[in-house]
Chain A
Amino acid sequence: DIVMTQSPSSLAVSAGETVTINCKSSQSLLSSGNQKNYLAWYQQKPGQSPKLLIYLASTRESGVPDRFIGSGSRTDFTLTISSVQAEDLADYYCQQHYSYPLTFGSGTKLEIK
């Protein structure tokens, strides 16, 4: 199984600041066939189901604000949230969608000061 290691487990920032969440996979998520990285990011707000934010490492899902930016390749990935807003209070999870079994990171709790 591919192990996903996510950090930090939690962080607190003030509105307007920039946040970086890291995700490392135990093996490369880069497909040699199409040169795409199979890494997704989800946002789970309190009391809600997870929502897909980003897939293929850097492609935003429809309707996701452009302050959410995914980057990285092979085994190291980052979710950057620029100019954090109060509504971004949530847990964030990475997930590899490269191979079975699909696996998730342990999550990052984002708090707004």
Chain B
Amino acid sequence: EVQLVESGGGLVQPGTSLKLSCVASGFTFSDYWMSWVRQTPGKTMEWIGDIKYDGSYTNYAPSLKNRFTISRDNAKSTLYLQMSNVRSEDTATYYCTREEHNMGIYWGQGVMVTVSS
């Protein structure tokens, strides 16, 4: 059974950094593109970016490219999202997904990030 478990969220202050993790199981992690998608409290869905199965290539939403970095450790079956200089508008639930043909086929349960002073 495919499982994606995100962690690392919580309450953070504006201007700080945060790193989210997503541990995958139930499939060969190194065979798949992976992505991060976020959903704001108002339910808006925003694709953040994705990373190639070997970690050699990434794509990002242009508005987030300068502050967010996606990486992976295939030996640990773990996907990461490094968020820097966070803002109140980054408050959202963050999901990791296993991508196929640019679609989120499997989604984690999500992790909440609240940016507030």
Contacts and interface: CB of A to CB of B under 8 A. Distances in A.
Contacts, number: 49
A95 B103 contact: yes
Nearest to A56: B101
A97 B95 contact: no
Interface size of B as a range: 20 to 34
A100 B101 CA distance: 12
Interface in B2-20: none
B59 A49 contact: no
B44 interface: yes
A49 B95 contact: yes
12 contacts: A1-B62, A42-B104, A50-B45, A50-B107, A52-B105, A61-B105, A95-B45, A95-B47, A97-B102, A100-B59, A101-B59, A107-B45
Given A1-B62, A91-B43, A51 B102 contact: no
Interface string B65-106: 000000000000000000000000000000100000111110
Contacts of A95: 45, 47, 103
A107 B43 contact: yes
A102 interface: yes
B30 interface: no
A61 B101 CA distance: 13
Contacts of B46: 104
Interface string B33-61: 00000000001111101000000000111
